[in-house]
C-alpha cells in the first residue's frame, strides 16, 4: 500500500476519486440551485440549512475544498510529468484521427474552470464566509434585526445575475465544464478499473450528465437575468 | 505510378540533434508496401553514394511489431489495425507529401534515423511478464485446466499485443499503459497467472514508471492506433489488479 500515490496508476486512481467526488458535489449544487427557479422559498430554506448545519460547514466543506485543490494540483502535476515524457515533438501530428479534442485538452478546460471557480469564490463564497464568520450573522435574514424579513439567499442570487457580464462569464465557465466532463466522467470510471458490460450505458448517462447539468446551470443564470 | 515528396527524419546517432530532410521519389507503384517504397528510396540513395535511411523491419507481415514508423502524423500511417509493413502505397495519392518520423517518447530514444530503442518494453516484461512453470518433466497439460471461454478469449486478445509501441507513439503522454495492461491481462485472466499476480502487476508498473513513460489520461488514442486492436479494457483490468495488489502488499 505504501507509495501507491507515487505510482502512475495510484495517481490516476486518486485523480479519479476526487473527480467522482466533485461530480457528486456539482449534481447536488445544481439540484439546490434549480430550486431558485421553481420555488424560491424552498431554495431559501435549503440554502440556510446548507449554510448553517455544522456537518456541512465544518466537515464536508473542508473536504470539498481539499478535493478541489487536490484535483487541480494533481492535474497540473500530471500534465508537467506527461510533457516530460515526450522530449521531442512530432513534426507532423494528427491526433484528431484517434482521440477527441476534449480528451486531449483537459488541462485547458480545467484551467478555464479554475479561473471561473476563483471568480465564483470571490463572488459568492468569500462574501458568505464574511457575513457568517467575520460579521457573525448566522441568521440568514435579509435584515437580521427584523425577524420576519425573510431569508436573503434568493434575493442575493437574483441580484448577482443582474449584470450581463457575470451571466456571460457563467455561461462560458459552464461550457468549459461540459467539455471537461464529456471526457472526465467516463475517464474517471476507466481509471478506477470499471470497464465492463455497464460501460456502454454509463457512456450514455455521462453524455446526459455532462451536457445536462452545465446547461441547467446556464439556464438558471439566464432565467434570473431575464426575469428579474 | 506516383511521384511523391518524402520528408524523413534523419539522425546520425543517439547524440545527434537530427532534422527532417526532403526526398523526391518517382514511379512509385501503388501496389508496393510502404517498406518496399523505402527500400526503393534507399537503393536510389546508395546508388547516389548517400547514406540510406535506417528503419526497423523484420517479418513484414504484421506479426513481429518491429516496423515503427510515424507516417503523416499517425502511428503506422493512415489506416487502422495494420502495421507499417502492411500499409500499401495505394493509401496515398500522386503528388502527396509524406512525413515519416520515428516513435517519439523519452523512454524510446532514437538510435538512428527512424530506429528507436524499445528495450524499455523488454525490461517491463522481464519485471513480471511471465509465469513460473515446473518444466522438469511433470508439467501439467494446460488443456487439462478448465478455463471459462470468455476469459480464454480475452486473455488471447490481450496476448496478441506485438509490443510494437504504437500505443506509446500515439499517446499524447507517451504512456505505455496499453502495452503493460495487455501483458498483465493475458496472465490475470488465466489460472496459471494467479500465483504471481500480485508481484507481477506491482513490478511491471514500477518498471514502467522508472522507464519514464507518461501517465495515461484515457484519450483512447492507443486503442485506435493499436495494430492488433488491444482494448482499453485491459488498462482498466490492470488498474484493478494494481489496486488489489497494492492493498495486499
Q: Are B188 and B197 in contact (CB under 8 A)?
A: yes
Residue of A nearest to B223 (CA): A98
Q: H or E element: which one contains A160? A: helix A153-160
Read off the pLDDT band of B246 (50, 70, 90): very high
B-chain residues near A80 (CB < 8 A): none
Task: Tell me the ipTM for this assembly.
Answer: 0.92
Residue of B nearest to A78 (CA): B215
Residues 6+ apart with CB under 8 A from B50: none
CA–CA separation, B202 and B42 (whole Å): 44
Report the topology of domain B119-132+145-248.
Fumarate Reductase Iron-sulfur Protein; Chain B, domain 2 (1.10.1060)
Read off the pLDDT band of B134 (50, 70, 90): confident
What chain A holds in terms of domains, given with CATH numbers, is 4-82+105-227 (1.20.1300)
Q: H or E element: which one contains B102? A: strand B97-102
Q: Is some CB atom of chain A closer than 8 A to the CB atom of B23?
A: no
Share of chain B above pLDDT 70, in %: 100
Is pLDDT at B141 greater than 90 in this prediction? no
Share of chain A above pLDDT 90, in %: 83
Cβ distance of B206 and A7 shorter than 8 Å: yes
Q: Shortest CB distance from A192 goes to which of B107, B224, B239?
A: B239
Is pLDDT at A1 greater than 70 in this prediction? no
CA–CA separation, B249 and B236 (whole Å): 20
**What tens digit of pLDDT does each residue of A181-218 get?**
999 999 999 999 998 888 889 999 999 999 999 999 99
- Domain parsing of chain B, residue ranges: 2-112, 119-132+145-248
Read off the pLDDT band of B126 (50, 70, 90): very high
pLDDT at A197: 85
Cβ distance of B173 and A103 shorter than 8 Å: no
Q: Shortest CB distance from B209 goes to which of A8, A98, A194?
A: A8
CA end-to-end distance (rounded Å), chain A: 55
DSSP state of B77: -
For residue A5, CA distances in Å to B45, B201, B245 come to: 51, 15, 14
Q: Are B129 and B185 in contact (CB under 8 A)?
A: no
**What tens digit of pLDDT does each residue of B147-162 get?**
999 999 999 999 999 9
Polymer length of chain B = 249
CA–CA separation, A47 and A151 (whole Å): 9
Read off the pLDDT band of A2 (50, 70, 90): low
Supply B244's cell numbers.
Answer: 488489489
Read off the pLDDT band of A143 (50, 70, 90): confident
Q: What is the CATH number of domain B2-112?
A: 3.10.20.30
Is pLDDT at B249 greater than 80 in this prediction? no
pLDDT at B102: 98
Average pLDDT of the residues in B193-216: 96
Instruction: Compute the Cα dihedral for A87, A90, A95, A98 and give only its sign.
Output: negative
The CB density around residue B3, as the number of other CB atoms within 10 Å, is 12
Residues 6+ apart with CB under 8 A from B49: none
Average pLDDT of the residues in B217-240: 96
**What tens digit of pLDDT does each residue of B18-39 get?**
999 999 999 999 999 999 999 9
Polymer length of chain A = 228
DSSP state of B86: G
Supply B85's cell numbers.
Answer: 509493413
CA–CA separation, A131 and A174 (whole Å): 27
Instruction: Compute the Cα dihedral for B220, B222, B224, B228 and give only its sign.
Output: negative
Amino acid at each position: 500500500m505504501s507509495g501507491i500515490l507515487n505510482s502512475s496508476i495510484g495517481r490516476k486512481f486518486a485523480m479519479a476519486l476526487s473527480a467522482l467526488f466533485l461530480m457528486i458535489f456539482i449534481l447536488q449544487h445544481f439540484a439546490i440551485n434549480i430550486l431558485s427557479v421553481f420555488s424560491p422559498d424552498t431554495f431559501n430554506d435549503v440554502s440556510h440549512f446548507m449554510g448553517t448545519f455544522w456537518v456541512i460547514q465544518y466537515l464536508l466543506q473542508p473536504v470539498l475544498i481539499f478535493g478541489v485543490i487536490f484535483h487541480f494540483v494533481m492535474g497540473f502535476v500530471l500534465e508537467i510529468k506527461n510533457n516530460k515524457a515526450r522530449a521531442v515533438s512530432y513534426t507532423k501530428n494528427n491526433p484528431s484521427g484517434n482521440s477527441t479534442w476534449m480528451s486531449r485538452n483537459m488541462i485547458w478546460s480545467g484551467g478555464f474552470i479554475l479561473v471561473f471557480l476563483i471568480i465564483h469564490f470571490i463572488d459568492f463564497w468569500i462574501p458568505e464566509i464574511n457575513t457568517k464568520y467575520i460579521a457573525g450573522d448566522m441568521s440568514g435574514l435579509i435584515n437580521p434585526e427584523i425577524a420576519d424579513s425573510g431569508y436573503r439567499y434568493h434575493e442575493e442570487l437574483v441580484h448577482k445575475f443582474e449584470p450581463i457580464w457575470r451571466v456571460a462569464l457563467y455561461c462560458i465557465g459552464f461550457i468549459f465544464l461540459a467539455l471537461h466532463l464529456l471526457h472526465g466522467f467516463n475517464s474517471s470510471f476507466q481509471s478506477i478499473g470499471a470497464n465492463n458490460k455497464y460501460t456502454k450505458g454509463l457512456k450514455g448517462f455521462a453524455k446526459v450528465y455532462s451536457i445536462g447539468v452545465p446547461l441547467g446551470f446556464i439556464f438558471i443564470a439566464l432565467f434570473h437575468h431575464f426575469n428579474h | 505510378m506516383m511521384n511523391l515528396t518524402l520528408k524523413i527524419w534523419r539522425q546520425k546517432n543517439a547524440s545527434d540533434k537530427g532534422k527532417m530532410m526532403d526526398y523526391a521519389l518517382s514511379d512509385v507503384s501503388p501496389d508496393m508496401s510502404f517498406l518496399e517504397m523505402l527500400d526503393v528510396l534507399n537503393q536510389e540513395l546508395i546508388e547516389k553514394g548517400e547514406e540510406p535511411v535506417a528503419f526497423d523491419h523484420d517479418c513484414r507481415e504484421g506479426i513481429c511489431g518491429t516496423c515503427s514508423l510515424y507516417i503523416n502524423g499517425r502511428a503506422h500511417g493512415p489506416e487502422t489495425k495494420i502495421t507499417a509493413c502492411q500499409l500499401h502505397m495505394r493509401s496515398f495519392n500522386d503528388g502527396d507529401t509524406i512525413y515519416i518520423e520515428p516513435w517519439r517518447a523519452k523512454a524510446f530514444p532514437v538510435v538512428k534515423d527512424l530506429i528507436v530503442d524499445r528495450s524499455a518494453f523488454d525490461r517491463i516484461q522481464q519485471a513480471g511478464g511471465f509465469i513460473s512453470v515446473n518444466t522438469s518433466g511433470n508439467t501439467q497439460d494446460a488443456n487439462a485446466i478448465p478455463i471459462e471461454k470468455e476469459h480464454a478469449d480475452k486473455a488471447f486478445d490481450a496476448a496478441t499485443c506485438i509490443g510494437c509501441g504504437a500505443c506509446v507513439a500515439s499517446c499524447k503522454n507517451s504512456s505505455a499503459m496499453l502495452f503493460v495492461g495487455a501483458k498483465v491481462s493475458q496472465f490475470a485472466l488465466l489460472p496459471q497467472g494467479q500465483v504471481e499476480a500480485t508481484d507481477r502487476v506491482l513490478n511491471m508498473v514500477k518498471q514502467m514508471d522508472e522507464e519514464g513513460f507518461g501517465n495515461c489520461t484515457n484519450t483512447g488514442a492507443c486503442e485506435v492506433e493499436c495494430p492488433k486492436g488491444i482494448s482499453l479494457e485491459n488498462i482498466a483490468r490492470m488498474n484493478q489488479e494494481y489496486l488489489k495488489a497494492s492493498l495486499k502488499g
